[in-house]
Chain A
Amino acid sequence: QKEVEQDPGPLSVPEGAIVSLNCTYSNSAFQYFMWYRQYSRKGPELLMYTYSSGNKEDGRFTAQVDKSSKYISLFIRDSQPSDSATYLCAMSTHTGYSSASKIIFGSGTRLSIRP
């Protein structure tokens, strides 16, 4: 079993819809949670990060972490065709202050926003 599980999709929604992307994980030591966006043949681009359970909002994006359920989500409001990409959840056991922050990635969910 992988440490981080993510539905690969593809997920196709109409423009303007709310998108929900999710990951589950098995390692309770994970404490730093991230979402990256990756366009085709490009490197991953950091969207959001958070340490704690709860919600964090940034514009149209909201990241949610539930450590008790080992479940994280990314919500995209008012989705746009430019949001079409692969979304990777990612997490690590350290915040980085004392040791390396090796990131464990999900396999990515391919998202398509239809105009």
Chain B
Amino acid sequence: DTGVSQNPRHKITKRGQNVTFRCDPISEHNRLYWYRQTLGQGPEFLTYFQNEAQLEKSRLLSDRFSAERPKGSFSTLEIQRTEQGDSAMYLCASSSLAGGSTDTQYFGPGTRLTVL
């Protein structure tokens, strides 16, 4: 499978615990995006990496959230001291500008987080 993969697919945690999600983009895609989607809403942008550099963060990304892409390949999103309001689907997307492409973003299946 050469698409975007995300792990775990589901995570149930208790309020106050820390959680970490992983995203593996399409091979050689240099851009990686994180979005959050709540029930009945479209995805909302959280942050974006070009290679290993985090270039933009949304105001939605509070201090409890941190994202990394240490080698410009996979990325992790960590949420510290989870709150019930963090319950959502966390989506990762990747894109590439190589070869004059259009930065079209391809999404992974998402990680569904439930905070009890």
When the two chains form their complex, are residues B112 and A45 in contact, meaning their CB atoms are under 8 A apart?
A: no
* CB–CB A44/B112 < 8 A: no
Q: In the complex, how many angstroms separate the beta carbon of B43 from the nearest chain A beta carbon?
A: 5
Q: How large is the interface on A (under 10, 10 to 19, 20 to 34, 35 or more residues)?
A: 20 to 34
In B14-64, which residues have CB < 8 Å from any A CB? 31, 33, 35, 40-45, 48, 50, 55-56
Contact B107 A105 (CB under 8 A): no
> With A44-B91, A102-B48, A102-B56 in contact, is A97–B42 under 8 Å at CB?
no
Our count of residue pairs bridging A and B at CB distance below 8 angstroms stands at 69
A107 close to chain B: CB less than 8 A: yes
A49–B95 alpha-carbon span in the complex (Å): 14
Q: B102 to A46, Cβ gap below 8 A?
A: no
A41 within 8 A of B: yes
Say how far B116's CB is from chain A's closest CB, in angstroms: 19
Q: Which residue of A lies closest to B56 (CB)?
A: A100
Q: 8 Å CB contacts to B: which residues of A27-62?
A: 32, 34, 36, 41-46, 49
Q: Tell me what chain A mostly uses at the interface: helix, strand, loop, or mixed.
A: loop
Number of B residues near A (Cβ < 8 Å) is 28
Assembly CA distance A100 to B46 (angstroms): 12
- Please tell me if the beta carbons of A101 and B103 are within 8 angstroms of each other in the complex: yes
Of the residues B4, B42, B105, contact of A101 by C-beta under 8 Å: B105
Please name the residue on chain A nearest to B48 by beta carbon.
Answer: A100
In Å, the complex CA distance between A107 and B91 comes to 15
